[in-house]
Structure 1
Amino acid sequence: MLERLNQAMEHIERHLDQAIEVDELARIAATSEYHLRRMFSALAGIPLSEYVRRRRLTLAGAEVLAGRATLLEIAVRYGYGSGEAFARAFRAMHGIGPGEARRTGAALSSQSRMAFRLTIEGSSTMRYRVVDKPAFTVAGLKTRVPLVHTGPNQAIMDFVRGITPQTLERLEELSDQEPQGIVAVCDDLDPSRAEGTELDYYHGVITSAAAPEGATALAVPAGTWAVFTASAPVPRAIQELWRDVFTEWFPSNPYRSRSGPEILRTRLSPDKTEADAELWLPVEPEHS
């Protein structure tokens, strides 16, 4: 997987002054567009589209300082329809406009080329299983929250604090299949997985029953799920588990992520500092 991903990275470098289509990158990487975006953001720490934008502006910055082409020629070469649009993007990355940068010879920011390698340490074993699960319903309370990669998600914490114990008890009575009990479900995430983009968050249960009055139902079709478990301090248990799945498990196993909700079941220690986490991710065979 990583070898094919690096071939896609080479394709990006050769075509920074042309249109780069994600479907072509996915074909080179021998995976789906959905999984390519997920893998890239997990491995690189930024969305694929942001990486391409920053690489283009890095090359454009070098050409601005070289002074051989006009600013408009550089703007058009790297896909900007006007000098104004180019200047805005240039300033957002470099902190200075292209005209001023050329006049003053200012120091500019640079996005290095990326290549991916798998480092095998052998110090731990990831616990997982693959489950074929029939269709089910997520029944619970729903809100829209921003995506947070590191640290607590305050919007989710505030939302959950507002749910009464009686409501949770009523929902938990409907739990009739794995994962059992109250779960956190994330759905309709932005393909870029960029920090701050929004997603649907459900706090509820997995059930075959109808959602009770006042709750929201999310119908989930039958499919294959990879189930990962870990125990660690909160919130690291959850965020590092998600990271390790995409940086270690997917590159080493014949599966790719598919569209669908992500389900997290956590059980806190009595002092609420440690958590047993169980993460359910929708997957499909890599060459399905």
Structure 2
Amino acid sequence: MDWLERMNRAMDYIESNLAGEIELSEVARRACCSSHQYQRMFSFITNVTLAEYIRRRKLTLAALELQNNEAARVIDIAMKYGYESPVSFARAFQSLHGITPTMARQDGIALKAYPRLSFLITIKGVDAMNYRIETKESFEVFGMERVFRTDGGGDEPDTPEQFWKQSHANGEVERLAANAGDLPRFVSQDSYKVHALCSYKHTGNDTFPYMLCAFKSGTSNANGYSVITIPAQTWAIFPSEPIAWDEIGGTIETLYRRFYTEWLPTSGYEQLDGMELQVFGEKAGLHSVELWFGVRKI
């Protein structure tokens, strides 16, 4: 089963269960990946979160029922699409459509419709995408880890970006760099000492683990840190061009999006569940980032 078929099978399941319970684990199973991995792919490809897409589809169908079934009560439609009360349904409905559910039944009223998504391969241009495939032996990283919600909610710091800022502010990043020791030979010597590891273990369907980490070598001091063993595997590595530091965030997002929308669907590889590395570096006064994805041949 190819990448497009898997993604569209997941969409089939979502569409057939909009008026029922949508299990994210089942969505992910049909796409042959973890729940977190599927939600990340979905967000990068569509520019909307999976939860928001499902909400829009439910409210689109609810609006159609309000217009086409005058006998149906608002409370019944609200409960059908997963809202526990008319108040919460009305709030969500008005946020999307700009009117109340009752007003949706008036003739000539304007509503919004969000159609079902399907995944296709399209030709976007001829911009080159630099990458390399490398097989590496098992290695270890160590550092500070947090668990974040996929939708960005939760207590502070509630995003990896805020985790970086907090750890810089309290000196933890600098302390980790001082304890890193020498870089292993398989890492570019232009690399920084502190990087990021993502999705390296299962923490739940709606959460993902994230670690500010250093590569562990014979000169590292990992006392007091979490240590993660990265198994031997093949990596697809995508380097950025040299950039200014304030462009790092946008560059990472662009690399992720191009990986999911341009490279992965046609590469003949599939992404392994988890083990994404963001490796940062500097050369000649400019910065860079490499995204490492664990992959295997289909």
**TM-score (normalised: structure 2):** 0.73
Residues 84-110 of structure 1, C-alpha deviations (whole Å, 9 max, x = no match)? 443344344335542455479764443
Match of 1:220 in 2: 230
Aligned to 1:283: 295
Residue 131 of structure 1 aligns to which amino acid in structure 2?
A: E
Give the letter aligned to residue 39 of structure 1: M
C-alpha deviation, 1:138, in angstroms: 1.3
CA distance in 2, matches of 1:82, 1:183: 48
1:126-205 mapped onto 2 (5 Å cutoff): 126-142=129-145, 145-147=157-159, 153=161, 155-160=163-168, 162-163=170-171, 167=175, 170-180=178-188, 181=191, 182-188=193-199, 199-205=209-215
User: How far apart, in 1, do the equivalents of 2:95 and 2:237 lie?
Assistant: 40
**What is the Cα deviation at residue 57 of structure 1?**
0.8
Structure 1 unaligned blocks of 5 or more = none
* SS in structure 2 of the partner of residue 127 of structure 1: coil
Query: Contact 1:183–1:263 (CA<8 Å) still a contact in 2?
Result: no
Which residues of 2 match residues 78-157 of structure 1 at below 5 A? 78-99=81-102, 101-102=104-105, 107-142=110-145, 145-147=157-159, 153=161, 155-157=163-165
Distance in 1 separating the partners of 2:281 and 2:101: 53
Tell me, yes or no, if the aligned pair for 1:185 and 1:261 is still in contact at 8 Å. Answer: no
- Residue 244 of structure 1 deviates from its aligned partner by 0.9
Change in 2 beyond 3 A, CA 1:224/1:283: same
Distance, in Å, in 2 between the alignment partners of 1:231 and 1:281 is: 18
Distance 2:89 2:290 in 1: 45
CA contact (8 A) 1:168 1:204 kept: yes
Show the counterpart of 1:58.
60
Q: Is the 8 A contact 2:33 2:273 kept in 1?
A: no
Inter-CA distance 25–264: structure 2 relative to 1 (3 Å threshold): closer
Does the CA contact (< 8 Å) of 1:49 and 1:192 recur in 2? no
The structural deviation recorded for 1:131 is 3.2
Contact 2:181 2:217 in 1 (8 A): no
Q: Distance in 2 between matches of 1:88 and 1:100?
A: 13
Q: Which residue of 2 is the match for residue 260 of structure 1?
A: 274
Tell me if structure 2 keeps the 8 A contact 1:179–1:206. Answer: no
- The total of aligned residue pairs comes to 276
Output the CA distance in 2 between the equivalents of 1:262 and 1:73: 44
Deviations 1:152-188 (A, max 9, x none): x354244235437973553342432433542421335
Contact 1:133 1:225 in 2 (8 A): yes
Q: C-alpha deviations, 1:259-286, integer Å up to 9, x for none? A: 3342112223555xx4332111223444
Distance (Å, rounded) in 1 between the aligned partners of 2:130 and 2:24: 32
**How far is the alpha carbon of 1:43 from its aligned partner?**
1.0
Structure 2 residues not aligned, in runs of 5+: 148-156
Deviation at 1:126, TM superposition (A): 2.2
State how far apart, in whole Å, the 2-side matches of 1:277 and 1:185 are.
11
Q: Deviations over 1:63-101 (max 9, x none)?
A: 224451211221233234543443344344335542455
Residue identity over aligned pairs, in percent, reads 32
Q: Distance in 1 between matches of 2:122 and 2:132?
A: 23
Cα distance in structure 2, aligned partners of 1:132 and 1:49? 35
Displacement of 1:129 in angstroms is: 2.7
Q: Using a 3 Å threshold, how does the CA distance of structure 1 residues 165 and 202 change in structure 2: closer, same or farther?
A: closer
SS in 1 for 2:240: strand
In structure 2, give the amino acid aligned to 1:41: S
CA–CA distance in 1 between the matches of 2:60 and 2:113? 5
- 2:166 and 2:80 map into 1 onto residues whose CA distance is 47
1:71-82 map, 5 Å = 71-82=74-85
Q: RMSD value over aligned CA atoms?
A: 3.7
